[in-house]
Amino acid sequence: MQFYVPLQPPILQKELLDSNYQYQEYLPNKNLESYVACYWTVNFHSSEQNKLHRIIPDGCADIIFDLRSSSFSKGAFVVGLMTEFESINLTQKCSLFGIRFYSDTVHHFLRHPVSEFIENHVFLEDIWGREATFITEEIISSNGISRIIEKVELKLMKFLQLSKSKPNYLLQTGLQYIYANNGVISIRSLAEKLHYSERNIRRTFHKELGVSPKELSGIIRFQSVLQELYNSNQYRFTNVAAKYGYSDQSHFINHFKRYYGISPNEILK
């Protein structure tokens, strides 16, 4: 069971969206909701003005399809976990479709640990071979988002049926504790709950995800703060900071800016 729903800036800052710049998210079917956080699209239509597209760490890995690509073999790529925000200046028309996977279950589809994709873009063809070319052609040739999702989910369900990858108990259970505690959990507490040593937990997270459990907990805590601010009509930053274990408001703002790039006041005007 997942306790965690990540957010990205276009959901929080809807005022950034306009007729030329659109971002949307779509939920997976019930059979895939333990593996896929969402499907998403980015469409930028203007060729006369630029647009800043911000991406923030969310503890997930993505497969991204470039729907305007002229090459089926190079039209899809994988992105691992991010530990810093990224701002992309959109200058040309673009149309992207993404699959946002939970990091503890994505191994069923990537055939490699997420650690191999940390902060990197790897062509899907290098992972799936010719299968990547076929699915990319199908997706790019599809008429409408509903048809794209239908094809993607058929492919993902097939992967699950054929998958021989066994779940890593330590990683999966550890992440569930991190999700359940909104990232506000020490490695010592995690070790006590899992009955493993802190060293073993750190080694497992680095090997499988490419990040430390402390770093990932920080990202989950940041994303939990975003959910709190997004879902609350009334809030005080001091109260939010205290609830999520920040020592003071300055610590909270610095942590927020590290992952988002701007202060919470700037996005929640």
What is the pLDDT at residue 233? 67
What is the pLDDT at residue 228? 87
**Which are the contacts of 249, defined by CB distance < 8 A and separation ≥ 6?**
237, 238, 241
Q: Longest C-alpha distance within the chain, in Å?
A: 58
Give the angle subtended at the CA of 224 by the CAs of 76 and 251, to the nearest 5°: 110
Please provide the DSSP assignment of 61-73 as one string: EEEEEETT-S-ST
Q: Are 60 and 100 in contact (CB under 8 A)?
A: yes
pLDDT in tens, 147-189: 999 999 999 999 999 877 787 889 999 999 999 999 999 999 9
Percentage, residues of the chain above pLDDT 70: 97
What is the pLDDT at residue 145? 96
Strands (E), the chain: 21-26, 36-44, 51-55, 60-66, 76-79, 86-90, 94-102, 121-123
Helices 213-231 & 169-180, crossing angle to 10 degrees? 30
The lowest-confidence range among 135-144, 198-207, 233-242 is 233-242
Average pLDDT of the residues in 114-130: 88
Q: Is the pLDDT of residue 1 over 70?
A: no
What is the pLDDT at residue 61? 95
Q: Is the pLDDT of residue 232 over 80?
A: no
**Hey, what CATH topology would domain 169-267 get?**
Arc Repressor Mutant, subunit A (1.10.10)
Q: Is the pLDDT of residue 212 over 90?
A: yes
Distance separating the N- and C-terminal Cα atoms of the chain: 34
Beta-carbon-side half-sphere exposure of residue 98 (alpha carbons within 13 Å): 23
Q: Is the pLDDT of residue 269 over 80?
A: no
What is the pLDDT at residue 265? 84
3-state secondary structure 145-175: HHHHHHHHHHHHHHHHHHCCCCCCHHHHHHH
Dihedral sign (CA 10, 255, 228, 240): negative
Domain ranges of the chain: 9-162, 169-267
Average pLDDT of the residues in 224-235: 82
Q: Are 206 and 220 in contact (CB under 8 A)?
A: no
DSSP reduced 3-state for 126: helix
Over the chain, what is the mean pLDDT?
A: 91
Q: Is the pLDDT of residue 137 over 90?
A: yes
DSSP reduced 3-state for 97: strand
pLDDT band at 234 (very low <50, low <70, confident <90, very high): low
pLDDT in tens, 9-67: 999 998 889 989 999 999 999 999 999 999 999 999 976 788 999 999 999 999 999 99
